[in-house]
Amino acid sequence: RYSHTTVCASCCLFNTLGAWEYLSSYFHLKFNYKDDWDIYSFHINSTVSSRYATTVITSRVANRMDESKEIEFHVRIPKNAFISKFRMFMDGEVYDGVVKAKEQAQQQYTEAVSRGQSAGIVSSVGRTLEEFKTSVNVAAHKKVTFELTYEELLKRKLGKYELQIHARPMQPVKDFKVDVYIHEEAGINFLEVKGGLSTKALGNAITKTLADKQAWVYFYPTEDQQKTCDSCGEQGMNGDLVIVYDVNRDTTLGDITASAGYFVHHFAPSSLTRIPKNVVFVIDQSGSMSGRKIHQTRIALIHILNDLAEEDFFGLITFDGNIFHWKRELVQANQQNVGSAKEFARNIRDRGSTDINRAVLEGARMLNAHPREGSASILILLTDGDPTSGETNRERIQSNVKKAIASKFPLYCLGFGFDVNFEFLESMSLQNDGVARRIYEDSDADLQLKGFYEEVATPLLTDVTMIYIGGTNLTQTNFSQYYNGSEIVVAGQITDNNIETFTPQVLRNTRMTFTNTDVTVELTGTISDNRIQRVWAYLTVKQLLEKELQLSGPEKETVKKEAMELSLKYSFVTPLTSMVVTKPPGERTDVLHKPKEGERLDHHSQGPDGEAKFIIFCGRD
């Protein structure tokens, strides 16, 4: 029989493909459940309100064997979410997981190992999901209930919110249910259910109801149906249910929900017209881009160029160790120029090294040389590697870039594949009002590139400042650009919980464009309802983590400390905290870390579905 000892001894430090396969087959052997354990009930319950989703996964498992058995709980949750609770119920006892500072949890783990008690650390990174996995020893003919809670603020992208629910119970389950309840004061304007689990016969198992401010989605597939979706089989379901919706947007100031002294403001006016943009694409053509990557980049670029509006201006630079201009200055996106740029894009070839510094500075120069009243400038960098020629010191590159851009326009960095130092790209984007996105090397990479571009394709506002008289402890209030299909979200505390004196305003270019004349602050819930406070905490922690990335030295430490304290207070598992799973005495300690998107992963640790994983799983029974 396989035991943890075997695994630990033979592959504690595995990093190779062999180890991955070994691990897969190990799990396959060990958890060839059917006859030994029975998931007799699996429920996923998601409640969404003011775009904040709280999801509880409850799995009830029985050990049908005559001997005790290690029973596993293994689920995937959206990357953007924070786990906030994990409990196990067994033999009349409740075992509550505890969120601790990462170092402290790590220490507990190390001590457990050195005392000869086994311990496990489990974490992994995928495209949109990450894993939670633990296990517990269950006596013969006994049951265990696992309950995991996670929370996330749904982000509006391309005009919609998406709640992704992943279901892979590992076997067909008699009592399987997904219940989603959505409540939005602004009114829900459409509701759709997508994802692999909505295909084939499983589609019949979905019921959706939309009634103005509320919506319900139920998904109750039978055991037979659970074998019939595109990626489902004898082992039951394996796939996503994606709930898609948007809310009504009538009032110009958006909607503000308040409860128990906290508010959250969603601002995404529908009445605006697009403003022309100036966009420069800086495209890496270094040797490492060869093959499919450069091919997909060409395809995406050609699509993107096609979608430029006539009033837009654009520039295109490719770079390796040198820089290649299509044109030295920005030109108008008329038919002739777009045609010629597409020809240039078709002929991009991979070669040479990577001089990110020079390329980005040149892109910034082109935008700076082309100021245009009432337009929005955007710099987009696509790269698949680290700087290898010219200036290669990352801090100096960042400081050069920051100086060149001087907060005049956002820089978006697209990191292609896993050879990039994503954290470097991420902090550089954040320092310049942008964001970084990873492009996964896969057959749909061109669609990922195009999808990202679409999110920023239509600027509607620049230099937005949100002001809240009577508000305090506000999350970010200044936004360099606002794009069609996205949304500005600000949360904060209402001073003395006094709604009467609370006055929100939106300023643009210091001219007032939206006032509070028609705003109503919706009061929801009762005094004990802390939901909006959790939205505030979630946003604050996310933004502190981003700020931390941009800083160094003592400033970084201060921000880190603040983020950690809030994570602990609200029991969020963030990159700074860990969940220590509490188990009956004598059992292995499990510590769960939330991995960072920037985490450098070994190529070989990619799972079969293109999801990168890394697992350290050592210990003894």
Ligand X SMILES: *[C@@H]1O[C@H](CO)[C@@H](O)[C@H](O)[C@H]1NC(C)=O
Residues near ligand X, by CB under 6 A: 45, 47, 159, 179, 273-274, 458, 465, 478, 484-485, 510
- N-term to C-term CA, the chain: 12
Contact 191, 235 (CB under 8 A): no
Of 177 and 295, nearer to ligand X (C-beta) is 177
**Separation between Cα atoms, residue 594 and residue 564, nearest integer Å:** 13
Instruction: Please say whether the dihedral angle defined by the alpha carbons of residues 399, 403, 406 and 411, taken in this order, is positive or negative.
Output: negative
Closest distance of CB 459 from ligand X, Å:
10
Closest distance of CB 149 from ligand X, Å:
9
Closest distance of CB 465 from ligand X, Å:
4
Contact 355, 390 (CB under 8 A): yes
How many CB atoms are located within 10 Å of the residue 441 CB?
19
Of 164 and 458, nearer to ligand X (C-beta) is 458
Closest distance of CB 458 from ligand X, Å:
5
Of 45 and 495, nearer to ligand X (C-beta) is 45
Nearest to 11 by CA among 26, 28, 29: 26
**Separation between Cα atoms, residue 282 and residue 572, nearest integer Å:** 37
Closest distance of CB 168 from ligand X, Å:
20
Of 297 and 480, nearer to ligand X (C-beta) is 480
Q: What letter would DSSP give residue 149?
A: E
Q: Which long-range contacts (CB under 8 A, 24 or more apart) does 572-576 make?
A: 572/82, 572/83, 572/84, 572/99, 572/151, 572/537, 572/538, 572/541, 573/82, 573/83, 573/84, 573/99, 574/82, 574/541, 574/545, 575/102, 575/545, 576/101, 576/102, 576/545
Closest distance of CB 6 from ligand X, Å:
40
Closest distance of CB 272 from ligand X, Å:
6
Closest distance of CB 592 from ligand X, Å:
22
Of 54 and 123, nearer to ligand X (C-beta) is 54
DSSP string across 368-436 = HT---TT-EEEEEEEESS---SS---HHHHHHHHHHHHTTSS-EEEEEESSSS-HHHHHHHHHHTT--E
Of 219 and 424, nearer to ligand X (C-beta) is 219
- Residue 231 CA, chain-centre distance (Å), reads 23
Contact 28, 615 (CB under 8 A): no
**Separation between Cα atoms, residue 415 and residue 288, nearest integer Å:** 13
Closest distance of CB 114 from ligand X, Å:
40
Residue that the structure tokens 């269950």 belong to: 138
Instruction: Show Cβ contacts of residue 606 under 8 Å, excluding neighbours closer than 6 positions.
Output: 20, 612, 613
Closest distance of CB 466 from ligand X, Å:
9
Of 159 and 276, nearer to ligand X (C-beta) is 159
Instruction: Show Cβ contacts of residue 10 under 8 Å, excluding neighbours closer than 6 positions.
Output: 22
Closest distance of CB 531 from ligand X, Å:
10
Consecutive H or E run containing 451: helix 445-456
**Separation between Cα atoms, residue 254 and residue 269, nearest integer Å:** 6
Contact 515, 176 (CB under 8 A): no
Structure tokens at 559: 């921000």
Of 36 and 179, nearer to ligand X (C-beta) is 179
Of 290 and 515, nearer to ligand X (C-beta) is 515
Contact 565, 571 (CB under 8 A): no
Of 47 and 80, nearer to ligand X (C-beta) is 47
Closest distance of CB 341 from ligand X, Å:
22
Closest distance of CB 449 from ligand X, Å:
20
Of 275 and 299, nearer to ligand X (C-beta) is 275
Of 139 and 447, nearer to ligand X (C-beta) is 447
Nearest to 409 by CA among 378, 370, 453, 440: 378
Of 532 and 618, nearer to ligand X (C-beta) is 532
Closest distance of CB 240 from ligand X, Å:
20
Nearest to 267 by CA among 467, 94, 132, 80: 467
Continuous H helices in 126-177:
none
Continuous H helices in 276-355:
292-306, 335-346
Nearest to 466 by CA among 515, 519, 397, 410: 515
Consecutive H or E run containing 144: strand 143-153
Which amino acid is present at 124? Answer: S
Of 484 and 578, nearer to ligand X (C-beta) is 484
Of 61 and 457, nearer to ligand X (C-beta) is 457
Contact 461, 482 (CB under 8 A): yes
Of 47 and 368, nearer to ligand X (C-beta) is 47
Closest distance of CB 151 from ligand X, Å:
12
